Structure 1
Amino acid sequence: MKKICVIGSINTDLVALVERFPKPGETLTGKEFHTFPGGKGANQAVAAGRLQAAVAMFGKIGADLYGQQTLANLAANGVDHRGVAVVPGVSSGIAVIEVDGSGENHIVIIPGANAAMDRRVIDERFAWLLEYDIFLFQLEIPLDTVCYTMAKLKECGKTIILDPAPAQILPDAVYPCVDFLTPNETEMAILAQQEIDSEDDLNAAAQRLLAKGVGTVLLKAGKDGAYIIDRSGRWHMPGFAVQAVDTTGAGDSFNAGFAVSLAHGGDLRDHVRFANAVGALATTSQGAQSAMPGLEEVRSLLERG
């Protein structure tokens, strides 16, 4: 099995459960409050660890209680955290999350130590990074670092998976470095700089990204599953029917599930089906990492269809 490395953000999620989202200037009384480990990078690493993959996390935390809790949580979930550095005098990353009665969410990110992920730390540990085969990236650390690192790893023949979230317009030089791009519909529209109101729009947006050099687009479609779009065609991989409680971390779980299946080898459609199952199960309880499924849960859902 190939080895996975996640390069990205590490946060602590402060989660408020509300009946509905407040309007501007409005104060609401919430239902519950919880603290969960999070950050798109750490989420993907923990999700992969829960699936019994060989996975490492590469990122930064602050010298605070949240950082200490993060290291303990990564270790408890089977994630190699030798690549996680402590930054003195800076807070760990924080995400403030509101979740409404339907399971939808609003998220505000305070980067903290994540903002200190620069080219220097990549160069210092690059020989260590080369021990891994499949790399997961997101956009919660500095974009310059993401672009620089993907280019270096691509030159070394590594497999690159980019989750373009939080969405932003990317330099054209990024796209040829990406083997698998995993946007949702909103992120796809931002990357392609066009509105998406139909399947024809979706296909046109994906073709723009493929023309820029992306290997394959995996469009995450929530409860509807995912679309595989490459230069040979488009395929819809249906989702799994589950009772959604909280969608926080579902996209990260999808990415991790895809990487874990890819690490074992096999057919692309099987990898996406596995990813759909992981993403679906991650919505069935509250929180991001706390809701991520184990391998047996995923296998059971796949068997049930």
Structure 2
Amino acid sequence: MTKHVLVAGSLHHDLVVNVEKFPIADEYLPGHSLRYIPGGKGGNQAIASARNGVVTWFAGRIGDDEAGHIMAANLEAAGVDISMLQTGAGETSGASVAIVNPFGDFGAIIVSGANLSFDANAVAIPADTGYLVLQNELPAGANVALARKAKASGALVMLNDCPIRPAHEELLYLSDILVLGQAEGEAMAGRSFSSPKVALEAIIPLADKVPRVAIMLGAGGLVHMERGGRPEYHPAMKGKPESMHGAMDFFVGALASQMASGSEFEAAVHYGQAAASVFMSTPVERRDLIRATQVRARLGEDDR
């Protein structure tokens, strides 16, 4: 039976700037486009889960400002249940500035704002929740408290361990699926992933900590492993990226949707990779139109 997904995480009103190259210290560069996009890892992942076909709740916090109203409306328009969204009187909603180069690479600066006042005690795990999805843009204590509640309710926990945090062994112990980007994977492994072969070696001890692990390697594809099995590598799917900004979040939300629907981990990872590929190759202004039909079509192209 298909279960539901609860995403608890951040909301940021993103300012996205496109440039020819990243600036160095004290350098002024012209940008050639400027967009305001509702974002935040939590919000992005909740939308991805809902758009890939499962009932999705979101728990997070905004301020009582215009940015907060925009982000709440964006979640609702995507079909996400926001009944657990908290609003802080007099608080400023979270924001970020993302810089994107012509190759789709990006860097971002985050101002957490109301996200840091999120109250985990106000959240109850809904019935029929199959997965609680967490990231590291809420306070660490809130993540642990929510993970404990999820395990007590019988739900599983998926942790997108980004941005990386030190000394969070309890949260790793409570997690059933760990999703990392290359930078986070290298930080946890204590080594550079100079090739997929190195990443395949590095993922083995991570699966001793968390039963299922996936590491996205950007343009290099991804590696994944289930405890007791062997590590697997999937090369990147075809397609020129418009921008990689938000691609990991779309992967996480799509992966959660498939796991909650009863898929095996490897099949869900492959689906998530196809979803991220569709996301990256779709112009930013059309990404809200992505649905499971496009993802399944990309899977079919990759299998040929």
TM range (shorter): over 0.9
Residue by residue over 1:31-67, the C-alpha shift from the partner in whole angstroms, topping out at 9 and shown as x without a partner, is 0100101000000011112222200110000101111
Give the secondary-structure state (helix, strand or coil) at the position aligned to 2:281: coil
Structure 1: runs of 5 or more not aligned: none
In the alignment, structure 1 residue 241 sits paired with structure 2 residue 242:
no
Q: Is the 8 A contact 1:114 1:141 kept in 2?
A: yes
In the alignment, structure 1 residue 230 sits paired with structure 2 residue 226:
yes
Go from structure 1 to structure 2 and tell me whether the alpha carbon gap of 1:261 and 1:151 turns closer, same or farther (over 3 Å shift): same
How do 1:209-288 residues align onto structure 2 when only pairs under 5 Å count?
A: 209-211=206-208, 213-231=209-227, 232-287=229-284
Bigger shift: residues 13-22 or 232-241: 232-241
User: 1-side partners of 2:236 and 2:252: how far apart?
Assistant: 14
- Aligned equivalent of 1:92: 93
Go from structure 1 to structure 2 and tell me whether the alpha carbon gap of 1:199 and 1:138 turns closer, same or farther (over 3 Å shift): same
Report the AA paired with residue 184 of structure 2: E
What value does the CA root-mean-square deviation take over the aligned residues? 1.9
User: 2-side partners of 1:66 and 1:134: how far apart?
Assistant: 28
- Aligned equivalent of 2:294: 297
Instruction: Kindly tell me the number of residue pairs found equivalent between the two proteins.
Output: 300
How do 1:1-305 residues align onto structure 2 when only pairs under 5 Å count?
A: 1-117=2-118, 121-126=119-124, 128-199=125-196, 201-211=198-208, 213-231=209-227, 232-287=229-284, 290=287, 293-305=290-302
Q: Is the 8 A contact 1:239 1:277 kept in 2?
A: no
User: 1-side partners of 2:81 and 2:61: how far apart?
Assistant: 14
User: 1-side partners of 2:40 and 2:196: how far apart?
Assistant: 31
Give the secondary-structure state (helix, strand or coil) at the position aligned to 2:243: coil
Report the AA paired with residue 243 of structure 1: K
The alignment-based identity, stated in percent, is 26
Q: Is the 8 A contact 1:74 1:81 kept in 2?
A: yes
Give the secondary-structure state (helix, strand or coil) at the position aligned to 2:295: helix
User: 1-side partners of 2:26 and 2:299: how far apart?
Assistant: 45
When normalised by structure 2's length, the TM-score is: 0.92
Q: Is the 8 A contact 1:185 1:196 kept in 2?
A: yes
User: 1-side partners of 2:112 and 2:242: how far apart?
Assistant: 26
Report the AA paired with residue 122 of structure 1: A
Report the AA paired with residue 217 of structure 1: V
User: 2-side partners of 1:225 and 1:208: how far apart?
Assistant: 20
User: 2-side partners of 1:207 and 1:289: how far apart?
Assistant: 38
Report the AA paired with residue 7 of structure 1: A
Aligned-residue offset at 1:130: 4.8
Q: Which runs of 4+ in 1 moved over 6 A?
A: none
User: 1-side partners of 2:88 and 2:163: how far apart?
Assistant: 23
Report the AA paired with residue 62 of structure 2: I
Bigger shift: residues 76-85 or 232-241: 232-241
Give the secondary-structure state (helix, strand or coil) at the position aligned to 1:258: helix
Give the secondary-structure state (helix, strand or coil) at the position aligned to 2:133: strand
Give the secondary-structure state (helix, strand or coil) at the position aligned to 1:245: coil
When normalised by structure 1's length, the TM-score is: 0.92
Aligned-residue offset at 1:286: 4.8
Give the secondary-structure state (helix, strand or coil) at the position aligned to 1:123: helix
Structure 2: runs of 5 or more not aligned: none
Residue by residue over 1:105-130, the C-alpha shift from the partner in whole angstroms, topping out at 9 and shown as x without a partner, is 0100000110111xxx322332x445
